[in-house]
Amino acid sequence: MDADTLLKSNGLPKRMVDTVSKAVRSRIMSRIRGKDTKPELLFAKYLRSKGIKYRRNVRIQGHRVDFRLVGTKTVVFVHGCFWHGCPSCFRLPKSNRTFWSRKIELNKRRDFRLSSLLRKQGWLVRTVWEHAGRPGHRKIFIRSLKRAKQ
């Protein structure tokens, strides 16, 4: 499958893809690579360094969650700052603003619905933002984790 087919299967019309900036395109590609996006790998590494056991990409009643901490009823979502509309980092791209704002808004709503659903079923739901894994943000990582362990 070539990149364009992949992009289309990811819900992005080719016309749109051709006009997105290089930065956005690389975000799209990292999304397509799917399960092993870098922030998730970083977080997995971090959990291992703390000796915390986890399962990745677990399905709970048909919904995929990024991490489930073994022996607890805790799930952790590792959210990319762009795709999930991080409150501190998200900036709308300069081109195709309507398209992107709608797309990111839908993602945010989906995230919200899924967390609410899991919480109702007694899961502790934690979100770790991509920016927490960037250099200089280690403390945020640790804080996210402490909350996750509660």
Q: Where is 128: in which H helix or E strand?
A: strand 124-129
For tokens 């092993």, the residue is: 36
118: CB partners within 8 A, 6+ apart: 60, 63, 65, 75, 125
Query: Which member of 131, 134, 137, 147 binds Zn ion (CB under 5 A)?
Result: 131
Closest distance to Zn ion from the beta carbon of 123 (Å): 23
CB environment 28-50: b (16+ within 10 A), e (fewer): bebeeeeeebebbebbbebbeee
- Taking CB under 5 A as the criterion, the residue among 65, 76, 86, 125 binding Zn ion is 86
Smallest distance, Zn ion to C-beta of residue 86, A: 3
**Choice between 91 and 94, CB closer to Zn ion:** 91
Contact characters 88-117, Zn ion, x per CB under 5 A:
-x----------------------------
Among 69, 81, 118, 128, binds Zn ion (CB under 5 A): 81
Residue 129 C-beta: closest distance to Zn ion, Å: 4
Binding site for Zn ion (CB under 5 A): 81, 86, 89, 129, 131
